[in-house]
Amino acid sequence: MIELIDLTFAYSGHPPLFDRFCLRVGKGEAWAIIGPSGCGKSTLLYLLAGLKRPSKGRVLIAGESIHRPRPRTGLILQDHGLLPWATVGQNARLGLAIRRLYGPDGRHAPVDSEVEPQDADRQIDYWLQWLGIEGLRNKYPSQLSRGQRQRTAIARTLVLKPDLLLMDEPFSALDAPIRIELQSVMAGFHRQSQLTSITVTHDIEEAVFMGRKVLVLHDGCNRDTEVVDNDLAGRSDERNSPAFHQRCEDLHRLLERRP
């Protein structure tokens, strides 16, 4: 699904964050990317999202080289990015509205994405309901809790039926109980949909819960990929088990180690 080939990236005036970095993510896999702040994990996500371009090397998604945001990639940010002047319903519709504005041109919207207005309504209803926020349809973001805002942002993304879901610290700003609940919601969604997903986080527990594979990044230049296979992902029943804590411990040690 995703292939990074010899990816090199540096912010101007800074040493490179990635140097000839390679990564392969299979279809339907759930990945977590973890690392200290400034290690380039969000940058990597933005490169995948087509919001930044590599200095050298290529980002291939579904066989296509990425130069701009790709219609079938969904992105969820820590700061939900909702329009403050639009209601939950209008925000959830934003992606579809943008697609309608351009038509199915393959660039701003998938070629096969012609959506009838009543279908759009149905899809929005479905996802608002699925996320438990259908009663908030006419509320503005300022009237919502953080968790409800993040649910709205998730609805806005899922309405577009993405085949790749990128999440940048999606639940970091939430209180612990709500964070754990939303992690379970998204893990459940992954089980159901088998959607390829990548979650960037600095939270080790979140990485172990969200990532079937965990990519560990370090401060400084990332060249070799360090990937931990993690069979505990998505297992709500294992969350308090010794194995889960052991896995967190292992990851912690890996993060501490200087590359």
Residues found near other proteins in the complex (CB under 8 A): 46, 49, 51, 68-71, 73-75, 77-87, 94-95, 97-99, 101-102, 107-109, 139-143, 153, 156, 160
Rounded to a whole number of angstroms, the minimum distance from the CB of residue 256 to other proteins is 30
Rounded to a whole number of angstroms, the minimum distance from the CB of residue 83 to other proteins is 7
- Based on CB atoms, which residue is closest to other proteins, 9 or 209? 9
Rounded to a whole number of angstroms, the minimum distance from the CB of residue 242 to other proteins is 38
The structure tokens listed for 86 are 């639009």
- Based on CB atoms, which residue is closest to other proteins, 11 or 85? 85
- Based on CB atoms, which residue is closest to other proteins, 111 or 243? 111
In Å, what is the CA distance from 24 to each residue of 110, 116, 240? 24, 36, 31
Rounded to a whole number of angstroms, the minimum distance from the CB of residue 124 to other proteins is 14
Q: Phi, psi (5° rounding) for residue 143? A: -95, 0
The structure tokens listed for 137 are 């349809």
- Based on CB atoms, which residue is closest to other proteins, 98 or 243? 98
Rounded to a whole number of angstroms, the minimum distance from the CB of residue 93 to other proteins is 10
- Based on CB atoms, which residue is closest to other proteins, 101 or 240? 101
- Based on CB atoms, which residue is closest to other proteins, 72 or 245? 72
Rounded to a whole number of angstroms, the minimum distance from the CB of residue 108 to other proteins is 4
